[in-house]
Amino acid sequence: MNYYILTNNSQAKEEFEQTHNVRFVDGKLIDVLITARDLINNGAVLLSHPLYGSVKPNETPYRSILLREGKPQADGLPAPADPESVRLIGNAISAFEKFIDKKEVTDPRLLDDFQVVDLSLLRSAVESADL
């Protein structure tokens, strides 16, 4: 399927950039969500859920999301926004906002753990997408 991976996780970028379309976001988790939102507002469709069940937003600094392009309309307008994607990304951003602001994680081992888990969750989505 023609999709791309939106991520701020460098391990995810390394693993998939040769074989998949990767758009790297040089920023925080919220930047990934906002980038995804703007893409969705312009017609992109979410393929994976923007929240990960157990790793709470504001805890992990990483996020990887699968999206695909929408079909542009004839008159030059972007693809119509996909309602389900709009709803999910909106809910994800409000869920993110309600969690307490923690100090930034700097411990390299911890960052590695977060990257590994993010990558694993991304892999499980990619496996489904590549079927």
Partner 1 sequence: MVKELERAGLPVVHVCTVTPISMTVGANRIVPAIAIPHPLGNPALDKEEEKKLRRKLVEKALRALQTEVDGQKVFED
Partner 2 sequence: MAKIKVVHYINQFFAGIGGEEKADTPAELHKGEVIGPGMAFNTGFGDEAEIIATIVCGDSYFNENIDAAKAEILGWVKDLAPDLFIAGPAFNAGRYGVACGTIAAAVHEELGIKSMTGMYVENPGADMYKDKTYILETKDSAAGMRAAVKKMTAFALKYAKGEKIGASCEDGYMNQGVRVNFFEKERGSKRAVDMLIAKLNDKPFTTEYPMPDFDRVEPNPAVKDMAHATIALVTSGGIVPKGNPDHIESSSASKFGEYSIAGVMDLDDATFETAHGGYDPVYANEDADRVLPVDVLRDLEKEGVIGKLHEKYYATVGNGTAVASAKKYGAEIGKRLVADGVDAVILTST
Partner 3 sequence: MRLELGKINITDIQFAKESKIDKGVLYINPDDLKPVVLEDEKIKDVVFDIAKPGESVRITPVKDVIEPRVKVEGKGGVFPGWTSKVDTVGSGKTMALKGMAIVTAGKIVGFQEGIIDMCGVGAQYTPFSKTLNLCMVCEPVEGLKQHDYEAAVRKAGFRVAAKVGELAKGLEADETCVYETQGIKEGIEKYPDLPRVGYVSMLQTQGLLHDTYVYGVDAKKIIPTIMSPTEAMDGAIVSGNCVSACDKNPTYIHQNNPVIEDLFAQHGKTLNFVCQIITNENVYLADKERSSNMTAKLCRMLDLDGVIVTQEGFGNPDTDLIMNCKKIEAEGVKTVIVTDEYAGRDGKSQSLADADAAADAVVTGGNANEVVVLPKLDKVIGTLDYVNKIAGASEDTLRPDGTLEVELQVITGATNEMGFGVLSAR
Q: Is residue 94 involved in binding partner 2 (CB under 8 A)?
A: yes
Binds partner 3 (CB under 8 A): choice among 22, 34, 86, 125: 125
80 binds, among partner 3, partner 1, partner 2, none (CB under 5 to 8 A by kind): partner 1
Q: In what order do the strands lie in the sheet with 4-7?
A: 21-24, 4-7, 64-68, 45-46
77 binds, among partner 3, partner 1, partner 2, none (CB under 5 to 8 A by kind): partner 1
Q: What is the DSSP letter of 130?
A: T
Is residue 61 within 8 Å of residue 99, measured between CB atoms?
A: no
- Spatial separation of the C-alpha atoms in residues 4 and 69, rounded to whole Å: 8
Which partner from the list partner 2, partner 1, partner 3, none does 72 bind, CB cut-off 5 to 8 Å by kind? Answer: none
